[in-house]
Amino acid sequence: MNEVPKFLIIAGVVLVVIGLLWQVVGRFLPLGKLPGDIFFRGENTTFYFPIVTCIILSIVLSLLFGLFRR
């Protein structure tokens, strides 16, 4: 098998596992509903921007990638 199909299969499996973990862990860890996330609900519109969640995910992913790079 070529490298590209292997990579796509592995990436797909990893995304499925992450999605399943997100479903289970999301019940206990309220990512996306943290204090500091911007949420505005008007009469006909809703605006939501998870700024604090984005910052926390960025820090965690930077640490993980830094560990795996070594």
pTM of the model as a whole: 0.57
Answer whether 22's CB lies under 8 Å from 37's CB: no
Residue ranges of the domains in the chain? 1-30, 32-70
Structure confidence at residue 18 (pLDDT): 85
Structure confidence at residue 16 (pLDDT): 93
Determine the Cα–Cα distance for residues 37 and 52; give it in Å rounded to an integer.
6
Whether pLDDT at 1 is above 70: no
**Cα torsion 19, 20, 23, 28: sign:** negative
Q: Give per-residue pLDDT as tens, 13-55.
A: 989 998 888 888 777 777 677 888 898 999 999 999 989 888 9
Structure confidence at residue 13 (pLDDT): 93
